[in-house]
Chain A
């Protein structure tokens, strides 16, 4: 994998792992804390509600119980009894009606009072409801919730047995004091503004019928309170709860299947139950908020870490790439190029050291080149001296090799040959007659026409020359030039009778230059030709002895020399050209 990608991934992972861990731990911990808090809250709410309802009911019950015990009902005349009933009704706002029953539980005619504006049928209904609970009454007791005669208003019947109801008296005997207790107070307790956290509180009677509710549930849902799992749990545990007066808590399903945390308990007095539930979703909404914000923060954090990772990766990979590029340059022989990096760290050190290495290599390289050039130059000087000594044997050929070499290079330049080939051409020009060193002087310097045998020996000089040059590594490329500089375009040359383009180009060039120099030099067998005359000779031989393209190029080169004022004929200057080693 690429280094930059590895770095970015690593930075990303280093950032992501702890952030994810933190987020999940935070989520889990806050979830646990919130659920524990919610459980405590529902328990507290259920307990408070239970006690407040219980207090209210107890108050009424104790008041009526006191009236039943402390008033001497048996001794009072009927108008006194009625007055007392009015008194009791006036004292307590939560009483809708009060009345007296005989020891068998039947209403005593005329001895019932209704609160002002109350339903006139209420006392009768109340007496009837009270009568239904008398069987087991030995103490003051609430009965089940009842409705008035018209079936509209709801009330709780309360029955208080008189202590002396079983004793004989002269007057009409009174057995019980009863009252219809309003539910308004209880309703008011629950009808406060609903909880703002989705909590539902319910007050149910022992049958599981709803008495009052506080919370977001609507009437259709409340109609089915009896089927709520928590209400059923309450009914199941009722006996135990009444005994222990504790609040129990558990998780339940609310209507529509929502999970909820619930608490339930019984009210101390009337045998009612209290139920408080809060949907878990509402409890955990904070967790979801934490998660949402956390994920957002995580995304931002990761984005930042990626950005930082990319910057960091670049700061490392950038210099490395430049070092690689520099190394490539060095491998191509380009030294001393400097990478700029102002860092004081290992990367900076790498770059500094690398630059240093590059500069040192450059120094070594130029030192080596210098040594090589000196060596090559020395070598060449030796060879040139050798060629010169061959030329010098014959006063007619002085400077010949140098001139042939110069003209050959000029022709090569006209033909746009590469520098390497020009170098070989120069060597070839200088050395083309080196083989003459192996030709006996009597033949070489003979001032008359050579015999066939002598000519045969003379014609060996290209082969001898090539054999001399070939073993020398840096002169070897000039060997073909030396061997073939007497081949002819029409195939009638020597030593190999090569023809046309099978003759190496360098040899064709040296052949033309050699002839040009011979024509324009004074030789034992001819006087030096002038420029125009020599040109005519060369042109005539174009296509026969010479490659026509080479002739064209040579003519162009000579024209340029002439235009530049450079001597184009060997004999023109009269002065012996100095042998110079170049290029």
Chain B
């Protein structure tokens, strides 16, 4: 088990396969994983669980990833790091951006699991790896 409290990751994606893959990789990196199937659920879950990092699919039902992020940022979740998971090219993603709200990182579908670890490392520095070593 990790020495400190485990970090919590929220995955919001309507694709169960992506949630499963991303979830298992994040667990192996020492995260507790909570899952939402759409943008609305993601907002609710954030309010209840206050995860440490968000993995938001762009094209998901009800509220797309960037709209959800915009709401979160407006609702006071100003600093929680958010990773946008998308199959779209960066230029097209830019068209989805509202009021200059941008994710902290992009995970491009289809992704390799290594890319997930890399992004986690980029966000949390080496800490995540220490957690993993301790778990």
Asked if B87 lies at the interface with its beta carbon under 8 angstroms from chain A, I say: yes
| Contact present for A348 and B62 (CB under 8 Å) | no
| Contact present for A349 and B59 (CB under 8 Å) | no
| Contact present for B61 and A360 (CB under 8 Å) | yes
Asked if B89 lies at the interface with its beta carbon under 8 angstroms from chain A, I say: yes
Interface residues as binary, A153-179 with B (CB distance below 8 Å gives 1, 0 otherwise)? 000000000000000000000000000
| Contact present for B61 and A346 (CB under 8 Å) | no
Residue of A nearest to B62 (CB): A363
Asked if B92 lies at the interface with its beta carbon under 8 angstroms from chain A, I say: yes
Interface residues as binary, A130-143 with B (CB distance below 8 Å gives 1, 0 otherwise)? 00000000000000
Asked if A71 lies at the interface with its beta carbon under 8 angstroms from chain B, I say: no
Interface residues as binary, B87-106 with A (CB distance below 8 Å gives 1, 0 otherwise)? 11101100000000000000
| Contact present for B59 and A353 (CB under 8 Å) | yes
| Contact present for B89 and A346 (CB under 8 Å) | yes
| Contact present for A359 and B92 (CB under 8 Å) | no
Which residues of A328-350 are within 8 A (CB) of B?
344-346, 348-349
| Contact present for A349 and B92 (CB under 8 Å) | yes
**Min distance, Cβ B3 to any Cβ of chain A, angstroms:** 40
Which residues of B57-84 are within 8 A (CB) of A?
59, 61-62, 64
Residue of A nearest to B93 (CB): A349
Residues from chain B with a CB closer than 8 A to the CB of A106 are none
A344–B109 Cα gap in the complex (Å)? Answer: 9
Residues from chain B with a CB closer than 8 A to the CB of A359 are 61
| Contact present for A353 and B88 (CB under 8 Å) | yes
Asked if A356 lies at the interface with its beta carbon under 8 angstroms from chain B, I say: yes
A346–B93 Cα gap in the complex (Å)? Answer: 11
A352–B92 Cα gap in the complex (Å)? Answer: 11
**Min distance, Cβ B14 to any Cβ of chain A, angstroms:** 8
Residues from chain B with a CB closer than 8 A to the CB of A352 are 59, 87-88
Which residues of A361-376 are within 8 A (CB) of B?
363
Residue of B nearest to A357 (CB): B59
Among B59, B89, B108, which residue has its beta carbon within 8 angstroms of that of A356?
B59
Binding site for B on A (CB under 8 A): 344-346, 348-349, 352-353, 355-356, 359-360, 363
24 residue pairs of the A-B complex, CB under 8 angstroms, read: A344-B87, A344-B89, A344-B108, A345-B89, A346-B91, A348-B87, A348-B88, A348-B89, A349-B88, A349-B89, A349-B92, A352-B59, A352-B87, A352-B88, A353-B59, A353-B88, A353-B92, A355-B59, A356-B59, A356-B64, A359-B61, A360-B61, A363-B61, A363-B62
Ranked 10 nearest A-B pairs via Cβ: A349-B92, A356-B59, A349-B88, A349-B89, A352-B87, A352-B88, A363-B61, A352-B59, A344-B89, A345-B89
- With A346-B89, A352-B59, A352-B87 given, name 17 new contacts (CB 8 A): A344-B108, A345-B89, A346-B91, A346-B92, A348-B87, A348-B88, A348-B89, A349-B89, A349-B92, A352-B88, A353-B88, A353-B92, A355-B59, A356-B59, A356-B64, A360-B61, A363-B61
